[in-house]
């Protein structure tokens, strides 16, 4: 087995059996957040390296204590925190992160030109001071997220808070910092003249301005299994020559909100892993075509997998790869074989309970449905995707044909999500799902070009 493709559960099992190669792969997977945290706490680079090595030794010795492979990363962070505490206790030092001089030294070591160091250092201190104006819970959430590198899910697990609460606290922290620094909320920026000129010559996508009528009816026949080769959420097969397109429609009036067109262009490699490069072109009614983005993915016999994403935003272009510590959470892999194996159990009141948490997080079949979109009817396997290891704010119900292609994705969110979202969210209160006692309300629909 290729250990790079192995899940944490397999790596953990092999580590407990003494497989050093599996441990190396596990460390490689989580090295960045660990070393970033240790360096922040210790300050001195040589001492930080020593503490990091001690962390690895302690992790190797204690991995047999981990019972849940989904908790490996938080457990490793816990080991790192303990080693940092030992460092300060043994040396009689004050347990604080970098002081001002150490921050300035760190800026120098990072390779910044001398004339920029002073400004960067001042900006860092201003940002840290501004964060102090946030409420304590929000400040602590921001510290864990931005400095320790924890994900929202991990912060939620450690603080026993719903992810929605963590997101709300992060939003409060950012808002407090902006207010303290006198930074106004940035309005949506217009595109450069060259981009506007280029897009004027490009026709709008061939999706209707108003969402076609949709009817979803559950069928009595047993659900069929599918081989889904798509990178779900983006609905494209990572194979050279493949194409896909889809449009989002939002309530109340169900008008077109966004269109995405994708083309698989050429072979590519990401960190020596062979895959395919895919172009992403996004169109919005108010601003036309957006800057082109890129996805990288691959298809194996068992799964479709994202390898990297490069999606430009208004103020920042971000590139992520499968080696980044949060990549698997946001993108990751998905099984090709999908079927209704009873992962979701129907209750007498119509609600659902989750029997297999791992399958639910990656997507699992749940029922046989006839989906009619604008007069065209498609027999579909419904695939529900929700992370129930924490209290998720959102979930999806995808409808796949016998060929394993998506025609509709219905998005749901918790009723209180509009209160914490950073942009306006309007819900369709006429439809909801209840999973493990948690209600999810119809949010918006994604219709693919295969349905037109």
Q: Which of 168, 254, 258 is nearest to 427 (CA)?
A: 254
- Residue 96 confidence (pLDDT) above 60: no
Residues in a beta bridge with 383: 365, 398
Whole-number percent of the chain with pLDDT over 90: 40
Residue 299: what are its φ and ψ, rounded to 5°?
-125, 125
Six-digit token string for 32: 């960045």
Cα–Cα dist 257/447, whole Å: 11
Higher pLDDT, 362 or 6: 362
Residue 327: what are its φ and ψ, rounded to 5°?
-65, -45
- Give CA separation, 199 vs 143, 157, 217, 255, 424, in Å: 41, 45, 40, 22, 27
Q: Which of 128, 47, 45, 34 is nearest to 81 (CA)?
A: 34
Residues of the chain with CATH 1.10.1740.10: 3-91
Question: Residue 262's pLDDT is what?
Answer: 97
Question: Residue 181's pLDDT is what?
Answer: 54
Residues of the chain with CATH 2.40.360: 214-451
The helix/strand/coil state of 327 is: helix
CATH fold of 3-91 reads Rna Polymerase Sigma Factor; Chain: A (1.10.1740)
Cα–Cα dist 34/31, whole Å: 5
CATH 2.40.360 fits 214-451, yes or no: yes
- Residue 372 confidence (pLDDT) above 90: yes
- The pLDDT tens digits of the residues spanning 113-169 come to 444 444 444 444 455 555 666 777 787 887 777 666 677 777 877 777 777 778 778
Residues in a beta bridge with 411: 396, 444
DSSP 231: B
- The pLDDT tens digits of the residues spanning 209-243 come to 999 999 999 999 999 999 999 998 899 999 999 99
């Amino acid at each position: 087995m290729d250990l790079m493709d192995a899940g944490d559960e397999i790596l953990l099992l092999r580590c407990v059996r003494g497989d050093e190669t599996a441990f190396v792969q596990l460390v490689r997977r989580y090295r960045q957040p660990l070393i970033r945290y240790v360096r922040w706490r210790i300050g001195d680079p040589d001492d930080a390296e020593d503490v990091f090595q001690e962390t690895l030794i302690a992790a190797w010795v204690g991995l047999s204590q981990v019972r849940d492979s989904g908790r490996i990363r938080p457990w490793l962070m816990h080991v790192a925190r303990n080693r940092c505490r030992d460092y300060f206790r043994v040396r009689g030092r004050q347990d604080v992160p970098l002081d001002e001089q150490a921050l300035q030294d760190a800026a120098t070591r990072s390779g910044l030109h001398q004339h920029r160091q002073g400004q960067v250092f001042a900006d860092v201190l201003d940002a840290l001071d501004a964060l102090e104006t946030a409420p304590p819970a929000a400040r602590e959430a921001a510290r864990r997220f931005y400095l320790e590198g924890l994900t929202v899910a991990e912060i939620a697990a450690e603080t026993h808070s719903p992810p929605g609460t963590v997101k709300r606290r992060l939003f409060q922290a950012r808002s407090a910092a902006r207010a303290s620094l006198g930074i106004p909320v940035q309005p949506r920026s217009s595109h450069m003249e060259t981009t506007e000129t280029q897009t004027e010559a490009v026709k709008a996508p061939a999706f209707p301005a108003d969402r076609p009528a949709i009817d979803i009816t559950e069928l009595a026949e047993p659900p069929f299994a599918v081989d889904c080769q798509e990178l779900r959420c983006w609905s494209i097969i990572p194979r050279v020559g493949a194409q896909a397109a889809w449009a989002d429609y939002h309530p109340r009036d169900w008008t077109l909100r966004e269109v995405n067109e994708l083309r698989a262009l050429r072979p590519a490699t990401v960190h020596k892993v062979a895959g395919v490069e895919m172009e992403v072109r996004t169109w919005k009614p108010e601003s036309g075509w957006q800057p082109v983005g890129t996805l990288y993915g691959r298809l194996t016999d068992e799964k479709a997998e994202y390898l990297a994403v490069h999606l430009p935003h208004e103020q920042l272009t971000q590139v992520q790869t499968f080696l980044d510590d949060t990549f698997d959470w946001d993108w990751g892999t998905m099984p090709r074989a999908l079927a209704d194996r009873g992962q979701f159990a129907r209750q007498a009141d119509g609600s659902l309970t989750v029997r297999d948490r791992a399958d639910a997080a990656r997507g699992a079949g749940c029922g046989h449905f006839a989906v009619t979109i604008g007069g065209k009817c498609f027999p579909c396997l419904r695939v529900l995707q929700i992370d129930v290891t924490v209290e998720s704010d959102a979930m999806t119900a995808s409808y796949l044909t016998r060929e394993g292609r998506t025609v509709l994705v219905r998005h749901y969110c918790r009723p209180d999500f509009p209160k914490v979202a950073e942009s306006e969210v309007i819900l369709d209160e006429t439809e909801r799902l209840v999973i493990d006692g948690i209600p999810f309300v119809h949010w918006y629909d994604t219709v693919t070009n295969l349905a037109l």
